[in-house]
Amino acid sequence: MLSENFFKVIQHEGVVSVTSWGSGEAPHVRCTWNSFLRITDDERILAPIAGFTSVQEDVVKNDNVILTLGSREVEGFNGYQGTGFLIEGRARFLDTGDEFDRMKEDYPFMNKLLEVTVESQRQML
């Protein structure tokens, strides 16, 4: 499901925003970096997290999340300088397991792992 351009984008640094919302609450937006993302063989997105408490609380009530990310270094539609993506998916937070342990080796600051199962991807630019 994830496109070739998506993989090109995450090879360049940029901001990833993660948007969540509980039941009837205002949305919460937190950010991480493109370079922190890891994509599993089955195309789940993993991100090391330290914080994101409000997002984690939202995910308990509603596991839907939206991620947006981009890079000026990857050509977009019609020769546009840069491109971005909107990813919709289902999130959960992990604090144990093999994937958590592997990510913790690379990112010792993390205290939890955000896992997003991608349901849709849309290139925006």
Conformation bin of residue 8: beta by default, left when phi > 0, alpha when psi is -120 to 50: alpha
Q: Sign of torsion, CA 41 111 91 17?
A: negative
Q: When comparing pLDDT for 23 and 50, which is higher?
A: 50
Reported as a pLDDT band with limits 50, 70 and 90, residue 23 is confident
Please tell me the total count of domains within the chain: 1
For the residues 51-60, what does the mean pLDDT come to?
96
Task: Return the CATH number at 56.
Answer: 2.30.110.10
Which is nearest to 44 in space by CA: 123, 122, 114, 124?
A: 114
> Residue 67's pLDDT is what?
98
Ranges of H-type helices in 37-117 = 53-61, 98-106
Mean pLDDT, rounded, of the chain: 97
Length of the chain: 125
Cut 0.85: pTM above it: yes
Residue 11: what pLDDT? Answer: 97
Tens digit of each residue's pLDDT (9 = 90 or more) over 73-115: 999 999 999 999 999 999 999 999 999 999 999 999 999 999 9
Could you tell me the residue range of the domain that residue 89 belongs to? 2-121
